[in-house]
């Protein structure tokens, strides 16, 4: 059994790589981290404050290592969206929070849909594209599947404007997958939907408010869990593996950062 990590690194240095219009959302990339090192004053001070000693009395002359996380969004890095993220109701019932999702629902058979031959940045992924990618896998989407979208965004770093111009899933495309039985919808892109600026432009042009965040809003109609900012999908076979999506157990929250790991048979 091979374990493949599909989780991005939460590196505070990435906050500074965001373009100025997105700086207010830096908490979805990484937290600010105050590092307290065992051999440095901050690590020694915190140790002494808790154990009632002074620096001269420290065993081996060191304190402990500790970190303080600040500006840390529940949607930070690779994360699992609970239904509450999309709206207060899901299928007509109160939408579930992240701590209400059983772990058994988050360990699922996986399949990778390679959309790179058809998907384009800043444009919708269509149902036709999904069907072509499913046919290439060689099996249908089955109830309970985790369907992972390889959009081609792995080619771009955060310093590239194309990183923020991902292909987006419409409501129709999202519902196409959930109607087939997919319960987890993952993507290697920074977002599941079109970039916000493009959704806003479509809304302003048409006046149709249903175009605002329509991929996510589809979850209010048929429950599923969206997982964004995944990586290493290129290391996976098209199918024949399981994926564990293990979010932090945050009370009452609409999402949580997760360690996402694929379990691939030898």
DSSP-derived letter for residue 229 is S
**CA 184 vs CA 117, 242, 248: distances in Å:** 23, 12, 17
In tens, the pLDDT along 112-153 reads 999 999 999 999 999 999 999 999 999 999 999 999 999 999
Q: What backbone phi and psi angles, to 5 degrees, belong to 80?
A: -105, 125
Rounded percentage of the chain residues whose pLDDT exceeds 90: 100
CA distance 97 to 251: 8
Domain with CATH 3.50.30.50 in the chain: 79-264
pLDDT band at 220 (very low <50, low <70, confident <90, very high): very high
Domain 79-264 has CATH 3.50.30.50: yes
The pTM is what? 0.96
In tens, the pLDDT along 25-76 reads 999 999 999 999 999 999 999 999 999 999 999 999 999 999 999 999 999 9
Number of residues that this document lists for the chain: 266
CA distance 70 to 94: 30
């Amino acid at each position: 059994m091979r374990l493949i990590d599909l989780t991005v690194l939460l590196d505070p240095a990435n906050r500074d790589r965001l373009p100025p219009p997105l700086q207010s959302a830096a908490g979805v990339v990484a937290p600010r981290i105050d590092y307290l090192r065992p051999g440095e004053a901050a690590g020694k001070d915190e140790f002494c404050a808790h154990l009632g000693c002074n620096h001269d009395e420290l065993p081996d002359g060191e304190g402990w290592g500790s970190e303080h996380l600040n500006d840390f969004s529940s949607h930070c890095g690779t994360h699992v969206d609970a239904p509450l993220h999309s709206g207060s109701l899901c299928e007509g019932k109160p939408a579930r929070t992240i701590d209400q999702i059983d772990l058994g629902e988050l360990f699922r058979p996986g399949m990778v849909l390679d959309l790179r031959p058809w998907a384009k940045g800043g444009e919708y992924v269509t149902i036709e594209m999904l069907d072509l990618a499913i046919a290439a896998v060689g099996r249908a989407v089955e109830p309970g599947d985790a369907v992972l979208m390889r959009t081609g965004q792995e080619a771009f770093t955060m310093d590239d404007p194309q990183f923020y111009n991902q292909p987006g899933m419409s409501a129709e495309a999202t519902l196409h997958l959930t109607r087939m039985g997919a319960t987890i919808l993952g993507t290697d892109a920074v977002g599941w939907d079109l970039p916000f600026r493009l959704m806003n432009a479509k809304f302003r042009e048409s006046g149709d408010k249903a175009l605002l965040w329509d991929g996510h809003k589809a979850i209010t109609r048929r429950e599923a869990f969206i997982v964004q900012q995944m990586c290493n999908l290129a290391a996976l076979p098209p199918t024949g593996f399981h994926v564990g999506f293990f979010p932090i157990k945050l009370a009452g929250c609409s999402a949580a950062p997760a360690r996402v790991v694929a379990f691939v048979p030898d």
